[in-house]
């Protein structure tokens, strides 16, 4: 299947694919579309950025388009995703690929008013894309009825496990018809995920396009080893490079993301932050500004990282190394998407050596180290306390790192 025209897709869907500028299917699309169109259950191991959404959305639209919608309409397809951002992006994809059909889809997630979601469901939809928590609320209120679902999609199942949603997912699945098609996608396949897959899939086809713990080959990775107090100065210097056109910066905490975005804006490096404590409207605005290029730098936490599906991210910067090494793979996977290249830069301070070692064991390589430029620390505003133990000081005052024991105690407390 070297072209989308080779797949069993009707003209309205093919026309939308052409309008999106797609010419050749990605490996996950190549392996999945025909099988899914035939109604097979699929266990897919694929990271974001591989074209996974189109791999399940196109065959689903094809199957629904092949039969007239029931009267009255009811939910025929349920897609479960872990985050609000990913849910919105999947909904946008279904809307784009199905723009020349009469199929209806809607999204359901928390953090926003429930009334518009209720109206959409009561008006009748064919495809429902939802986060588990809000969907369960609507099911308890008998607003969302799932007793006639024909196709279930679990997207980023490992992320749902990480976020503690697996029990909610199982409760939702128990309300679905036993006879259905299930498409199950996960970037990694830990034991709990495989157990869930075995429980809900029937004679599945296993599709794997990227080993779950490897990084994208087209990403150029590099490492700076430096003191914690030097990180902001180096970041500000790097961001002055015009080749850094669209940059994602990852921090370990929500407070760090907010503070870092504030400091970058003071340096006239337009930045915004996105994390779980931000309201849905603010998160959507930050993501939209980043997509449009109105904001060049987006600072994010791991909880928000999987929902960021933006083309042309030129650089990912790990301002803090992640506590969970697998998150390094997910972070840097935000660049080098859809066949493009990209760069990932990691900062490692002395107290993060263990996290670095865990990441390098996971990816099976030592990240190439670069020399920290000399003479830049005093040329930039003194770094402020980005989620660490150093107390806040007015601009221009002296600053010193907090005692190592003090930081270690606070870090242990945070991890609890």
Class of residue 345 by CB neighbours under 10 A (exposed 0-12, middle 13-18, buried 19+): buried
- Looking at mean pLDDT, say which of 28-42, 151-165, 294-308 comes out highest: 28-42
User: ω before 72 within 30° of 0 (cis)?
Assistant: yes
Q: What is the CA radius of gyration of the chain?
A: 22
Q: Does residue 223 contact residue 367 with C-beta atoms inside 8 Å? A: yes
What pLDDT is attached to residue 398? 33
Residue spans of beta strands (DSSP E) within 81-218: 105-108, 127-130, 151-154, 181-186, 205-208
Residue spans of beta strands (DSSP E) within 234-311: 247-250, 271-274, 297-300
Name the region of 312 (left: φ>0; alpha: ψ -120 to 50; beta: rest).
left
What residues have CB less than 8 Å from 356, skipping those under 6 apart?
223, 321, 346, 348, 367
What pLDDT is attached to residue 69? 79
In the beta sheet, which residues pair with residue 272?
298
Mean pLDDT of 85-107: 94
406 or 4, higher pLDDT: 4
In the chain, the domains with their CATH numbers are 4-208 (3.40.50.300), 219-415 (3.40.50.300)
Q: Return the structure tokens found at 233.
A: 């100065």
What pLDDT is attached to residue 389? 36
In the beta sheet, which residues pair with residue 318?
250, 346
172 or 371, higher pLDDT: 172
Q: pLDDT band for position 414 (50/70/90)?
A: very low
Identify the CA nearest to 131 among candidates 312, 254, 276, 17: 276
Q: pLDDT band for position 399 (50/70/90)?
A: very low
pLDDT of 297 higher than 60 = yes
What pLDDT is attached to residue 319? 97
The tens digit of pLDDT for each residue in 381-394 reads: 444 444 443 333 33
What residues have CB less than 8 Å from 366, skipping those under 6 apart?
360
Mean pLDDT of 187-211: 86
- Looking at mean pLDDT, say which of 83-87, 199-203, 291-295 comes out highest: 199-203
What pLDDT is attached to residue 311? 76
pLDDT of 229 higher than 80 = yes
What is the full DSSP assignment across 6-52?
GSS--HHHHHHHHHTT--S--HHHHHHHHHHHTT--EEEE--TTSSH
Q: Output the average pLDDT for the chain.
A: 84
What pLDDT is attached to residue 217? 64
The tens digit of pLDDT for each residue in 97-135 reads: 999 999 999 999 998 899 999 999 999 999 999 999 999
Q: In what order do the strands lie in the sheet with 247-250?
A: 219-225, 342-348, 315-318, 247-250, 297-300, 271-274
The tens digit of pLDDT for each residue in 311-367 reads: 789 999 999 999 888 788 888 888 876 666 789 999 999 999 999 999 998 888 899
What pLDDT is attached to residue 250? 96
What pLDDT is attached to residue 338? 60
């Amino acid at each position: 299947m070297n072209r989308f025209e080779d797949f069993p897709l009707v003209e309205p869907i093919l026309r939308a694919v052409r309008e999106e500028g797609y010419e050749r299917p990605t490996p996950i699309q190549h392996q999945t579309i025909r099988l899914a169109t035939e109604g097979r259950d699929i266990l897919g191991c694929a990271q974001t950025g591989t074209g996974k959404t189109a791999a399940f959305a196109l065959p689903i639209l094809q199957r629904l388009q092949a039969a007239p919608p029931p009267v009255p309409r009811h939910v025929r397809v349920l897609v479960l995703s872990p985050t609000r951002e990913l849910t919105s992006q999947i909904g946008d994809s279904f809307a784009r690929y199905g723009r020349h059909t009469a199929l209806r889809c809607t999204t359901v997630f928390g953090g926003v008013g429930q009334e518009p979601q209720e109206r959409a469901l009561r008006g009748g939809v064919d495809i429902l894309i939802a986060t588990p928590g809000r969907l369960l609320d609507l099911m308890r209120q008998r607003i969302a009825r799932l007793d006639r679902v024909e196709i279930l999609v679990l997207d980023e199942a490992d992320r749902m496990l990480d976020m503690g949603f697996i029990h909610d997912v199982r409760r939702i699945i128990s309300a679905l018809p036993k006879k259905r098609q299930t498409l199950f996608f996960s970037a990694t396949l830990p034991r709990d995920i495989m157990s869930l897959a075995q429980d809900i899939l029937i004679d599945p086809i296993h599709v794997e396009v990227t080993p779950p713990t490897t990084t994208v080959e087209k990403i150029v990775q590099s490492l700076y080893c430096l003191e914690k107090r030097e990180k902001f100065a180096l970041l500000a210097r790097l961001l002055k490079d015009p080749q850094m056109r669209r940059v994602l910066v990852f921090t370990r905490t929500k407070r760090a993301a907010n503070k870092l975005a504030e400091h970058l804006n003071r340096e006239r490096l337009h930045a915004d932050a996105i994390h779980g404590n931000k309201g849905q409207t603010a998160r959507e605005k930050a993501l939209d500004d980043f997509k449009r290029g109105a904001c060049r730098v987006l600072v994010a936490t791991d909880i928000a990282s999987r929902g960021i599906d933006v083309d042309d991210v030129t650089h990912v910067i790990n301002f803090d190394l992640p506590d969970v090494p697998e998150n390094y793979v997910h972070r840097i996977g935000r660049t080098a998407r859809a066949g493009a290249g990209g760069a990932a830069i990691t900062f490692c301070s002395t107290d993060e050596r263990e996290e670095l070692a865990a990441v390098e064991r996971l990816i099976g390589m030592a990240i190439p180290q670069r020399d920290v430029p000399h003479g830049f620390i005093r040329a930039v505003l003194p770094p402020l306390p980005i989620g660490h133990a150093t107390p806040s000081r007015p601009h221009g005052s002296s600053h010193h790192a907090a005692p190592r024991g003090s930081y270690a105690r606070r870090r242990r407390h945070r991890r609890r």
